[in-house]
């Protein structure tokens, strides 16, 4: 692997752009590749076997592009596929992500933590293990959020439909006394401005994008693979509508970018 090889970042859709942004801020010399599997959204309602197959396809694509590292910028794909991918590519730096239970348990003062995530993440054995490990002294209220990802994918982050759906998902957390809410899906950080209007200001929101970027930096540093020169512009692929992603990219990524079709 060479230092100036790109890093592959993957999500079921546009959610991973929230992670891509953190990576670009922390590692401005890195060239970034991004695959959005928008043609198969939402992963939250798919079987782990299906998600593993899609994740492996994307991993192979990034290998063919010469990527020096692979970031699964998706909680749902991580719980389904990360163990298999680590076995398949033992020498490839690979970063997955999981809901930030440990920092949330440390942050709560009420002792009640809420988790917004996909059905797939919340039902996984990996998430159960995370609770067993880090949430022994707090009460955790989990809230699956079907439909939310599809609305975020439209790129309209302030629609009445989105507000209404979100309201229904945060209400049970607030009535249970949560003072800390984990955004356990990479799509949800895009809801922060809306959540700031809908939640009391004392509520702490926790997501993991910045921690993932730090972990990536650590892994690359250990292997002396951190890029030093000028990066290539970020490149994007989608298995969904290329024009749609191109149109909403400036809203979600703050820049425009070349978007190509990710076949199959
Ligand atoms: N962005 C993904 C995550 O972090 C899930 C989106 C989906 O359901 O496809 O879990």
Phi, psi for residue 228 in degrees, rounded to 5: -120, -25
Asked whether residue 75 is marked as a ligand-binding residue, the answer is yes
Domain housing 149: 101-207
Q: Does residue 24 line the site of ligand 1, with CB under 6 A?
A: no
Return the bridge partners of 38, or none.
Answer: none
How many of the other CB atoms lie within 10 Å of CB of 47?
11
Closest residue to atom 2 of ligand 1, CA basis = 74
The residue from 190, 207, 224 where one domain ends is 207
Alpha helix stretches (DSSP H) within 119-178? 119-123, 125-134, 148-153, 160-175
Does one domain contain both 162 and 109?
yes
Q: How far apart are CA 199 and CA 214, in angstroms?
A: 29
Does one domain contain both 107 and 89?
no
Does one domain contain both 107 and 203?
yes
Instruction: For residue 152, give the CATH number of its domain.
Output: 3.40.50.1860
User: What pLDDT digit, counting tens, does each position of 152-205 carry?
Assistant: 999 999 999 999 999 999 999 999 999 999 999 999 999 999 999 999 999 999
User: What pLDDT digit, counting tens, does each position of 143-152 carry?
Assistant: 999 999 999 9
**Looking at ligand 1, which atom is closest to the CA of residue 97?**
4
pLDDT confidence tier of residue 264, bands split at 50, 70 and 90:
low
Asked whether residue 120 is marked as a ligand-binding residue, the answer is no
Does one domain contain both 44 and 64?
yes
User: What pLDDT digit, counting tens, does each position of 214-261 carry?
Assistant: 999 999 999 999 999 999 999 999 999 999 999 999 999 988 789 999
Is 117 strand, coil or helix?
A: strand
């Amino acid at each position: 692997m060479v230092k100036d090889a790109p890093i592959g970042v993957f999500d079921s859709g546009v959610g991973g752009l929230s992670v891509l942004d953190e990576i670009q801020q922390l590692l401005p010399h890195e060239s970034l590749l991004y695959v959005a599997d928008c043609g198969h959204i939402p992963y939250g309602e798919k079987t782990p076997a299906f998600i593993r197959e899609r994740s492996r396809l994307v991993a192979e694509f990034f290998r063919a592009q010469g990527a020096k590292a692979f970031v699964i910028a998706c909680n749902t794909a991580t719980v389904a596929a990360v163990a298999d991918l680590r076995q398949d590519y033992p020498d490839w730096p690979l970063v997955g992500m999981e809901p930030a239970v440990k920092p949330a348990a440390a942050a709560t003062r009420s002792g009640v933590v809420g988790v917004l995530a996909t059905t797939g993440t919340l039902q996984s054995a990996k998430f159960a293990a995370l609770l067993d490990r880090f949430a022994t002294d707090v009460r955790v209220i989990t809230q699956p959020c079907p439909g939310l990802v599809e609305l975020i994918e439209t790129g309209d982050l302030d629609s009445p439909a989105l507000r209404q759906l979100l309201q229904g998902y945060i209400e049970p957390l607030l009535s249970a006394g949560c003072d800390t809410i984990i955004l356990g899906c990479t799509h949800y950080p895009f809801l922060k401005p809306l959540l700031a209007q809908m939640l009391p200001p004392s509520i702490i929101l926790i997501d993991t994008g910045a921690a993932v970027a730090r972990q990536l930096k650590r892994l690359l540093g250990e292997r002396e693979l951190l890029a030093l020169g000028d990066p290539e512009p970020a490149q994007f692929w989608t298995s969904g509508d290329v024009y749609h992603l191109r149109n909403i990219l400036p809203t979600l990524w703050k820049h425009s970018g070349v978007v190509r079709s990710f076949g199959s």
